Amino acid sequence: MPATMLPSHAMAHDTLLVCDDRMLGHEQSPHHPESPARLRAIRDKLQSQPIAGTRWQSATPATREQVLRVHHPIYVDAVDRARGVAFDLDPDVLLAPGSVDAAYLAAGAGIAAVEAVVGGAARRAFALVRPPGHHAEHSMAMGFCVFSNIAAAAEHARVALGLSRVLVIDWDVHHGNGTQHLFEGRRDVLVFNTHQSPHYPGTGAAGEVGNGDGRGFTVNVPLPGGLGDGDYAAIYRDLLTPIAEQFAPELILVSAGFDPHRDDPLGDMQVTADGFAHLCGVVCDLADRLADGRVVLLLEGGYDLRGLADSVHACTAVLAGSTPPGGGPASPGGEAAVRRARAAQALFWRF
């Protein structure tokens, strides 16, 4: 991947793309959907159709201390022992000799993107990473994920950069169980999930609203298969926007999984590249109004290579300042999902 380090004259209105060829070293079985071909497809699209106002930066591995903010030491030790060897960390997480280094780079890329945006070196950022992270639990790998990249980024913003409120949005087709479980008892990180249900991993019911002091700071919007652009647009307009306005985040992070795409083999949704661009536009507008413009996307799923590359390109264009497309009307199924989620959250937020 192109790897131009930040020059001294770089403008803060640039959109930063953080990536690294070393993440291609994470290889699983020959037909595993989470393959190096995913990053290659994204790179080829962004290089063949470059977007003005973007620049590339290589990744720096996360430190052990940064990973330990969100994972148990015994689990991190187990990952570290697998460096340089082939090892099955989980039935869904098969490690090649380069996988552990790739996992540390993926976590580090999200942290670097947050540092650039919060520090003013970039207006917005997209961490193009693998392995993904939102299924990783505190003490175990799960669902193609080794470390919780987005949780590490959120904790870095809070612990190292001094932010008080971080909004995490997850539009992957699968529920981000790991992210939810890491933050569901807290009020400083609000986690907003849309996901197909029933579907892997089986968590994320609308009634899962957080625990203890964190009640109301976990928002789940489970969706039936078949929903598309207009349905997601309605959810972001009628549910996410009023909650975000009341929460008033200082930074918005997005678990940007593109497996709700209509051609993705691991989901049953009907979202298009334009639909993802619309969602990205809503997020950017919220960031501009509420969070001093600070927004960072981190790649999660997306397994149809053309749909993935087109969707990443469309979102990157919006991050760089292109006008997002409209969202379209919602279906009855989308409207019902909004009603159910609002009912579950009515004790905590005004609608």
pLDDT tens figures, 28-57 = 888 999 999 999 999 999 999 999 999 999
Q: Domain for residue 164, yes or no?
A: yes
Is position 8 within any domain? Answer: no
Q: Which pLDDT tens digit goes with each residue over 197-228?
A: 999 999 999 999 999 999 999 999 999 999 99
Structural domain harbouring 67: 15-345
User: Is the pLDDT reported for residue 335 higher than 50?
Assistant: yes
Residue 350 lies in a domain: no
pLDDT of residue 11: 46
Select which of 71, 134, 135, 156 is catalytic.
Answer: 135
Which residue did the predictor score with more confidence, 91 or 311?
311
Domain contains 4: no
Residue 2, pLDDT > 50, answer no
Region of poorest pLDDT, from 79-93, 194-208, 266-280: 79-93
Whole-angstrom distance, CA of residue 235 vs CA of residue 233: 5
Domain assignment of residue 3, yes or no = no
Judge whether 127 lies within some domain.
Answer: yes
> Total domain count for the chain?
1
Give the CA dihedral 65, 144, 28, 68, nearest 10 degrees.
Answer: 10
pTM: 0.96
- Residue 227 included in any domain: yes
235: domain CATH number is 3.40.800.20
In a domain, 215, yes or no: yes
Q: Please confirm, yes or no, whether 135 is among the known catalytic residues.
A: yes
